[in-house]
Chains A and B, each alone.
Chain A
Amino acid sequence: MMVLVVTNGWRQSTRRRRNQIGSQDEAGSTSGTKCKWPICGYGCSACCSVISAWGLVMLAVLGFLFSGNDNLVDPEGEMNKSDKEKTGTACYIAAGMYLATFIFSVWQFKLNTSK
């Protein structure tokens, strides 16, 4: 029992001293004001938001083209009309999924940047 008390007392005092010498960050990190939900890091969240934005726009356009039965997306003429409409709807849903990942990764990015 004595051991614990003594050593803990010493450790606290050393830490206190180090914090005074050290930068503000260290003190901040111990009190837990940083990122609350750090699921992905700075680079990862930035990369994900870019890809999600790209996917959102591109799949929305593709969905529009498929639903409109456009020649552009099927120059060989392999798909019939109902297939294309089905694909168009699926594209819209996938675009919605990218909207969700976009919001998520932008939120993560904000968490990572605002310290």
Chain B
Amino acid sequence: MGSLFRSEEMHLIEMVVQAEAAHATVEELGRTGVVQFVDLNPELNAFQRSYVNDVKRCDELERKLRFFKEQVEKAGLPIAPKTEAGAAATEASSLVQGARRGRRYGGAGAGMAAPADAGGANLDDLEEHFVELEAGLVQLNANQEILDSAANELTELQCLLAQTSVFFDDAGAAGDVFVSQTSALDANGPSASSPLLGTGGRLGESAPGAGTASSRAVQLGYVSGLLEQTKMARFERLLWRATRGNHILRQCTEAVELSDPASGEPVSKIAFIVFFQGARLRTKITKMCESYGANLYETPDTASARQQLLVEVEARMDDLELTLDSAAEQRERVLSVIAASLEDWLDIVNREQRIYHALNLWKSDVSSRALVARAWAPVWGDSQIEAALARGVARSGASVQSFFEVKVTSSPPPTYFVTNKYTAGFQALMDAYGMARYQEANAGVFTIITFPFLFAVMFGDLGHGALLTMFAAILVAYEGRIARIPGRPEMFNMLFNGRYLILAMGVFAMYAGLLYNDCFGFSIDFFGSNWSRPSDGDAHLIDPDRVYPFGVDPGWAGATNKLQFYNSFKMKTAIIYGVTQMLFGVVLSLTNHLYYGNYIDVWTRFIPEVLFLGGMFGYMVILIIYKWVTVIPDPPLILTVMIDMFLKAGSVPAKDEMYSGQGAVQIILVFVLLVAIPWLLLPKPIILWMRKKAAARRAGHSHGGATEALLAPAADGTEPEGDGHGHDMGEIVIHQIIHTIEYVLGTVSNTASYLRLWALSLAHAELSEVILDQVLFRGLKAGSAPLIFAAFTVWALATVGILMIMESLSAFLHALRLHWVEFLSKFGASDGWKFEPFNLDAPVAAE
């Protein structure tokens, strides 16, 4: 294994595996997780591949499992978590099965029939099992639905019977009114004294046309049933229109709560009864009821008959309930068996699915009865691959050993960094911008220190840093427990994955807070301030020879020129950090040139780049430090010194004088800067052009009329990076011009970009001070406990909301940008591609 500085050394390998061993081999390789298969059939679409049927089968199994899961969740049963033992057991069973299969194939001599083996056999069993379970479950569900709807009907009837009795009783009591009204409407109505519904007219019999002579009562028909509460008003209106008011609708005031047997949704229904006259109205009303989805039931109109029916219904209901209970029990038994191993099954099916997807990338060679696979793998993984291939053959019982060989290829290998849980967060941060080119200097290594550092420069506060550290420390301390929580929110997951990054950021912010002497806006006097401030006079130094030992003297707190001091201090440190980091980036580009053997780039790129950056801003940094450490009477502004260095080259104005010999140094620097630009621009294209000419001449001598195309490979040997060596000369020139302009302008603009360190740092300090003064100190100065209590809560919430969340996010983003653009652009090509090994034990990515 290599270091994190350069990505792992990779090579392309080709594996030849006997068809029967293919499945087991892929599984074994997936367990080691060191290979990334290359698609050998890019011309085939998903449906033309050899294992498409197996993939489909897995999809079908997955669908069944999803159905099971849905049912289990609906029943509210807990799903057992994935067991390690389960995976081991399936492995063991698949081993046994594989051996059996192998023997069978060997005996029959039908080795080529289908490359099925251990996993395939296991999958067969599972499939059989699933089909049985699904059929059983569907049957149970159907039964349940039938029973439920029967129970619902009985309930409805029961309610209706109970409630209609009230209607009939009412009707009996108010009989006179009804009769007089109905008889008035009815032209040939009988005498007014006859009671309403006097004789027992069962629903079918009470057709008005067939008015029996024996009965002297009004032959009113009626329809009774239950309707959903929400539809009642519309039903009533339509009823009125259809009968022109010739009806009496009675509805119950209390709704019955039922559950819909098909969907399981709760519905509330209302019992109603409609009295009317005439056969045509009966059909009309019945149809209306049907279209509104009302369930109609026949109810006898005599109290005794109703009572009898009610008793009957109750008896039937008790029977039904027993059946329902046993059905539910049975269903629960089946579902709990499923729930116990659902996750394990899902795991197995997912693994199989991924194995077949990987197998689809392989090329089958029918004539030689073998499968060919190509994969990228780190060089150190050879022994593991060899062992995995051997295990695959052993498990499947294939007769021919598999083997692999290293292939030479011109395509660029993938970039593979082996990270641990601490470095992974930092590496992911840099990979997000662009994957490093294969074996290029990795910015991720340096990010581990520089990223939290630059963050802390902007977020420097002892108190805020401590809060951040505490938060990250909790995440780190309970990482095992948190990782097991399923269904964490996305936002929290991001924080959790970056917990070590946040921890480092917090610790660095505490350090920077100590340097700035800032803790929630307070300054803490650790070592005794060097300033004394009497209440009646100006501040003065206590001991001019003593220096406050660490960080900023707390005497600055409360001083009127505090902001001026911090302003200058933070701006200058920002420039120093920026120039240092950029120079470091340029040095990293030197390691790249040397590593790739581009010695020409050392001379034509690295040296002029260092001279340009160092000559301009390196000199400025030296001036800044010089001004800090020496006592200059009436010190000049560094900015004017820098400007005058260019505008008045050669002479140093008296106000800019910092040290003797300044003029000579500055004229040399200006000269160096002026030389560095054409140096960066011109030599590389010229050298390449001359080399090309020489090569053409040599080729012309030896072959006599060689073509340009023949030259390219010869030149590539000395120039691995040589994009454009065999290409057009104009492209190289343009490339170089762009690079030169980018670098020269970038030197100025990137340095200016580092000033964000200054701006954000000041903003953070000022904001925390303002919130402290305006919120907490208002309460404190009032001197009353309830006010202090309230002020603290407001202050704490503002601190967390504004300073901790918003400010840390902005500092994070700015630190990220400085690394991506200002630092990485100095050396990184970032045009690599990521190595994503085929790993069965890794969590499934959503496909």
User: Which of A's residues lie within 8 Å of B, judged by CB?
Assistant: 2-3, 6-7, 10-11, 13-14, 17, 20-23, 26, 51, 54-55, 58-59, 62, 66, 71-73, 75-77, 79, 83, 86-87, 90-91, 93-94, 97-98
Contact = CB atoms under 8 A, between A and B. Distances in A.
Contacts of A87: 780-781, 783, 788
Contacts of B321: 13, 17
B77 A58 contact: no
Contact of A3 (B78, B159, B325, B558): B159
B433 interface: no
A17 B158 contact: no
A79 to B, nearest CB: 7
Given A6-B162, A21-B332, A83 B785 contact: no
Given A58-B792, A90-B783, A98-B789, A71 B525 contact: yes
B257 interface: yes
B75 interface: yes
A73 B321 CA distance: 75
A73 B522 contact: yes
Interface of B: 75-78, 155, 158-159, 162-163, 165-166, 254, 256-257, 259, 310, 317, 321, 324-325, 328-329, 331-332, 522-525, 533, 535, 554, 557-558, 780-781, 783-789, 792-793, 796-797
Contacts of B166: 3
A20 B162 contact: no
A23 B76 contact: yes
A76 B555 CA distance: 10
A115 B646 CA distance: 75
B515 to A, nearest CB: 18
Per DSSP, are chain A's interface residues mostly helix, strand or loop, or mixed? helix
26 contacts: A2-B162, A10-B158, A10-B317, A13-B321, A14-B259, A17-B325, A20-B328, A21-B332, A22-B76, A23-B76, A23-B77, A51-B796, A55-B793, A55-B796, A59-B792, A72-B524, A73-B522, A75-B554, A79-B781, A83-B783, A87-B783, A87-B788, A90-B787, A93-B788, A94-B788, A94-B792
A41 to B, nearest CB: 17
A7 B780 contact: no
Contacts of A26: 76
A90 B523 contact: no
Contacts of B781: 79, 83, 87
Given A6-B159, A7-B162, A77-B535, A62 B780 contact: yes
A22 B78 CA distance: 10
Contacts of B783: 83, 86-87, 90
Given A59-B792, A72-B523, A97 B785 contact: yes
Contacts of A91: 780, 785, 788
Nearest to A86: B783
Contacts of A62: 780
**A-B pairs with the 7 shortest C-beta distances?**
A75-B558, A93-B785, A94-B788, A75-B557, A23-B76, A94-B789, A76-B558
Contact of A7 (B159, B328, B522, B796): B159
A75 to B, nearest CB: 3
A21 B789 contact: no
A51 to B, nearest CB: 5
B793 A51 contact: yes
B506 to A, nearest CB: 16
A13 B742 CA distance: 80
Contacts of B786: 94, 97
A20 B321 CA distance: 13
Contacts of A10: 155, 158-159, 317
Given A13-B321, A23-B77, A77-B533, A90 B162 contact: no
A3 B163 contact: yes
Given A6-B159, A13-B321, 5 more contacts: A2-B162, A3-B163, A14-B259, A20-B329, A72-B522
A11 B257 contact: yes
A94 B792 CA distance: 9
Nearest to A22: B76
Contacts of A71: 525
Contacts of B331: 21
Contacts of A93: 785, 788
B327 to A, nearest CB: 10
A71 B780 CA distance: 15
Contacts of B558: 75-77
Contacts of A98: 789, 792
Contact of B785 (A6, A75, A94): A94
B321 to A, nearest CB: 6
A94 B741 CA distance: 63
Contacts of B332: 20-21
Contacts of B162: 2-3, 6-7
A71 B556 CA distance: 12
A44 B172 CA distance: 61
Nearest to A3: B162
Nearest to A26: B76
Nearest to A96: B785
Contact of A17 (B78, B256, B328): B328
B76 A17 contact: no
Contacts of B75: 21-22
Contacts of B310: 6
A3 B165 CA distance: 9
Nearest to B158: A6
A91 B787 CA distance: 10
Contacts of B328: 17, 20-21
B785 to A, nearest CB: 4
Contacts of B557: 75
A17 B322 CA distance: 10
B61 to A, nearest CB: 27
A102 B244 CA distance: 71
B634 to A, nearest CB: 30
